[in-house]
Amino acid sequence: MNSFRAAIEGGGGFSPSGPSMPEKRPSGASEEAGLGSVPVPRSTKRSADHRDGDRHRLSSEQAELLVRGKKRTVELVNLSGGGAMIATDADLQMWQKVHLVLGGEFKIECAVRWIRGGRIGLEFAHETQIEGASTKRDSMLLDVLRRSFPDIKSAPAAPITDSSQPKGALSVESQKREAQRHPLIWSGEIHYNHDSERVRLRNISESGALVESPRSFPIGAEILLDLGNAGQHFAKISWSHGDQIGVKFDRAFDIGLLSRSRPQVADHRWARPEYLRSPKEAADAWNDWNHSPLSEIKESLEGFLKR
């Protein structure tokens, strides 16, 4: 890893076939002859399951659940792409908004999808969650909309009408902006041990990130998180269970860099299950999870950041 780091920090950049990441050579292959010196029959199969089997089901793993600002410890039964099952006696409601804290520091916003006895099914928020100062986050979001989605039009910002609000209270415009859900999803690649894996960013802050990966990594492993135009960043694996992995950056990450990388756009409406077709209370709770259209987000951010 030291030679890998030296190659990157020396200005050579990252190249999977370069000296910092040499090509893999099967056992028995000579350097002169290359891969062709080892015949591999078409019938050859993997000697091991490198996906770690049913690695999503956990044992004796705990997490923290934040419900209306109160923290409680829960049992983490399993993790899978997009959600988790927890065991808890907490009094929760369908589609209630909660936060699951993994590894003691990696927070994911979740919706309660099902309740069965003492087991709770959670669905992770679809968008990449950006932690840190709201002003810096808002500035980055507006920048990425202008860079990656230049065709999006926004109407003039609405006039301020809440001057009578008590001191310290959030303005009507601020409350509206805080309630908006952006639909942007960033991804990247983890480079480790002469291999690369595409990952999805669930949460990112100046100090670290929570990523979703089809491959597990050993705790303490030094990796390179490649965010494309947002840069390449050295980090260490600090937590790993199921397909969720916590990484800690070696150096503080500038959230503003995300604006240089074009994110994917999630559907602005979640797929509501049949059992939530009625009553009205369920519909109202459901609406809280819809993403705001990019045009509305751009309008709101432009108006807010001008002041």
Tokens encoding 276 = 């939530």
The Cα-based distances of 164 to 88, 160, 168, 172, 200 in angstroms read 43, 11, 11, 11, 43
Whether residues 193 and 89 share a domain: the answer is: no
How confident is the model at residue 284, as a pLDDT?
Answer: 53
Q: Measure the CA–CA gap between 157 and 284, rounded to whole angstroms.
A: 26
Q: Is the dihedral of CA 152, 157, 158, 160 positive or negative?
A: positive
> For position 87, which CATH number holds?
2.40.10.430
Tokens encoding 51 = 């996906």
Q: Is residue 194 part of a domain?
A: yes
How confident is the model at residue 40, as a pLDDT?
Answer: 34
Whether residues 203 and 253 share a domain: the answer is: yes
Q: Measure the CA–CA gap between 188 and 79, rounded to whole angstroms.
A: 20
How confident is the model at residue 50, as a pLDDT?
Answer: 39
Whether residues 95 and 209 share a domain: the answer is: no
Whether residues 98 and 209 share a domain: the answer is: no
Q: Is residue 54 part of a domain?
A: no
Tell me the whole-structure pTM to 2 decimals.
0.73
Neighbouring C-alpha atoms within 13 Å toward the C-beta of 17: 0
Range of the domain at 255: 187-260
- Structurally, the chain folds into a number of domains equal to 3
Q: Is residue 170 part of a domain?
A: yes
How confident is the model at residue 177, as a pLDDT?
Answer: 44
How confident is the model at residue 189, as a pLDDT?
Answer: 98
> For position 214, which CATH number holds?
2.40.10.220
Whether residues 139 and 279 share a domain: the answer is: yes
Whether residues 268 and 300 share a domain: the answer is: yes
Q: Measure the CA–CA gap between 82 and 95, rounded to whole angstroms.
A: 15
Whether residues 180 and 268 share a domain: the answer is: yes
Tracing tokens 């979640």 back to the chain, one arrives at 270
Whether residues 160 and 218 share a domain: the answer is: no
Whether residues 196 and 236 share a domain: the answer is: yes
Whether residues 135 and 156 share a domain: the answer is: yes
Whether residues 140 and 109 share a domain: the answer is: no
pLDDT means per 10 residues, the chain with 307 residues, are 65 54 46 38 38 46 92 92 92 92 91 93 93 92 95 62 46 47 94 96 96 94 98 96 94 97 81 54 57 86 70
Whether residues 255 and 193 share a domain: the answer is: yes
Q: Of 72, 100, 124, which marks where a domain is finished?
A: 124
How confident is the model at residue 137, as a pLDDT?
Answer: 94
Tracing tokens 């099902």 back to the chain, one arrives at 114
Q: Is the dihedral of CA 189, 211, 177, 293 positive or negative?
A: positive
Contact by Cβ (8 Å): 173, 160? yes
Q: Is residue 116 part of a domain?
A: yes
How confident is the model at residue 303, as a pLDDT?
Answer: 76
Render 170-198 in DSSP notation, one character per residue.
PPHHHHHHHH----EE-EEEEEETTEEEE
